[in-house]
Amino acid sequence: MKQFMNSRESLVTEAIDGLLRTSGGKLARLDGYPHIRVVIRTDWDRAKVALVSGGGSGHEPSHAGFVGQGMLTAAVCGDVFASPSVDAVLAGILAVTGKAGCLLIVKNYTGDRLNFGLAAERARALGRDVEMVIVADDVAIPGAPRPRGLAGTLLVHKVAGHLARAGASLAEVRAAAERAARAVVSIGISLSSCTIPGQPAESRMGPAEVELGLGIHGEPGATLIPLAPVRELAATLAARLETSLPPGAKVALLLNDLGGVPPIEMAIAAQSVLDAMTREVALVFGPERLMTSLDMKGFSVSALPLDEELERALLSEVGPRAWAPGRRPGAVAPLPLPEASSGRSYAASAHPARRAILERIGAACIAAQAELDALDAKIGDGDTGTTLATAARALLRDLDRLPLGDGAALCAAIADRLSTVMGGSSGILLSIFVAAMGARAGEPPQWPAALRAGAVAMQRYGGAQEGDRTLLDALLPAIQALEAGQDLAASAHAAREGAARTAAMTKAHAGRASYVREDALRGVADPGATAVAVILEALART
């Protein structure tokens, strides 16, 4: 497994140094590498209660990323997924604790409880006033004797940090932190495990399985469940959380990316979780990477029942930039489109033959989605098939509203829709192509001449020529066959041969493939040219 690191041994210390150097002078560390790795605030006022947390590394930005005003005073960092030593925790306590005392916030793992607990005892023996709160928010296994500490710990940090900054006593800070720790509940779900630095990636799930109720150290989930649309997975998570919450209470939700979920998928997960909750969600934190498990592709949801005091504590501003400020969720009404942007209107008309042609082309584009995406994934961004199929579905939905009886108007209407529903350069190029076809089509339409006009317009604006490894390498031979008086079958054959020739072209002169090295292009047909062949073959069968 390829990873960006220098060595496994220096991984944690180098990561801490990177955090410190980009903190703008707000963070520092104790001089104790490599055994003592403690990140502390540079502006700390010992007259207030200190908050210390930490644990194994690999959960970034937790915990060092949350050191700052309104949250932690210090974070003690262990090796990846390993508790820090007693000496390291003690050093962190002694460095920040004044007369106001210190509260340790510890996740419920044996190593953390023991090392932080013994450090607290030693600090007390040295005259420091130290208390400890354990967070055990995991509800994956009902009735578990020792639930794990998960991302709900961060909400406890936030509540305690608010009171500590306000000057509350150690007893008051501890009471608020314990109240939040007892109330918060969390559960996670994942599509993959994480990759431990320097070790091969582990795969323990089938392609149609997900793990429900996993921890943050790469350990297996409580159960395997079938992969399903995220709305169904979110409903499962919400149901588990709901059964562990007091009836009727409004809640704050923390949506946490465990390290490997793209933002677009986390946004969908957030929408699905909010839809699945049956009680009022008053605040949302995230979706963000807050307590990760290295590169695990999964997310967790934490819920904390709210009252006015907790809500005020959660909404107060903090210094650490890694924190996701709470927001009040709600439905947002869409604003009306500007009138000129909604396209021209066309009078619908019938033409059974043209309708059948569009239905056949649309079905062919949808059926070829996976094939075209797979080709594009080798040389581009992997979405040619998806983009084309999206446009095809939109056109099929609009068939009853299209001017099928007027060839020129039909082309103009299709061009308008393509420019709306297709993204990127492919959508606008096809829109230009079809619009130019319509302007040249006439009535009755002269389709070979119209196709040539469309290709000329596409070349004029797109800048590509035949031989540049684009869809033109299939389109232009197909048009030439029609202009020579050959039928659609011959035109489709010419398009397929043109697409096949692109697999031998190791240099592209247009499109994303122009940035791809020769060995990646070799043997891979251009997806746009292949799409043209698919469309013409569908036409030939009509």
Q: Strand 209-212 vs strand 102-107: parallel, antiparallel, or unpaired?
A: unpaired
Give the Cα separation of 22 and 246 in Å (integer): 42
Q: Which of 63, 157, 162, 217 is catalytic?
A: 217
For residue 303, which phi and psi values (nearest 5 degrees)? -130, 130
Q: Would you call 59 a catalytic residue per the annotation?
A: no
Give the Cα separation of 243 and 267 in Å (integer): 25
Q: Strand 102-107 vs strand 50-57: parallel, antiparallel, or unpaired?
A: parallel
Taking the CA atoms of the chain, what radius of gyration do you get in angstroms?
30
List beta partners, residue 450: none
**Is the omega angle on the peptide bond into residue 444 within 30 degrees of 0, that is, cis?**
yes
Half-sphere exposure of 276 (CA within 13 A, CB side): 22
Contact in structure between 341 and 482 (CB atoms under 8 Å): no
The token duo for 518 is: 């020769």
Residue 397: which region, alpha, beta or left (left: phi > 0; alpha: psi -120 to 50)?
A: alpha
Instruction: Report CA-CA distances (Å) from 255 to 151, 261, 324, 325.
Output: 9, 12, 10, 12
One-letter amino acid at 283 equals L
Q: Which of 469, 265, 479, 260 is nearest to 375 (CA)?
A: 469
**Is the omega angle on the peptide bond into residue 63 within 30 degrees of 0, that is, cis?**
yes
The SS3 of residue 466 is coil
Contact in structure between 54 and 63 (CB atoms under 8 Å): yes
DSSP string, 105-134: EEES-HHHHHHHHHHHHHHHHTT--EEEEE
**Is the omega angle on the peptide bond into residue 287 within 30 degrees of 0, that is, cis?**
yes
Considering Cα of 53, then 57, then 63, then 67, what sign does the dihedral take? positive
Give the Cα separation of 385 and 369 in Å (integer): 4
125 contact partners, CB below 8 Å, separation of at least 6: none
The count of other CB atoms within 10 Å of the CB of residue 466 is 16
Residues in the chain: 542
CA angle 256, 257, 260 (to 5 degrees): 170
One-letter amino acid at 430 equals L
Tell me which residue has tokens 């084309």.
388
The SS3 of residue 406 is coil
**Catalytic site residues?**
217
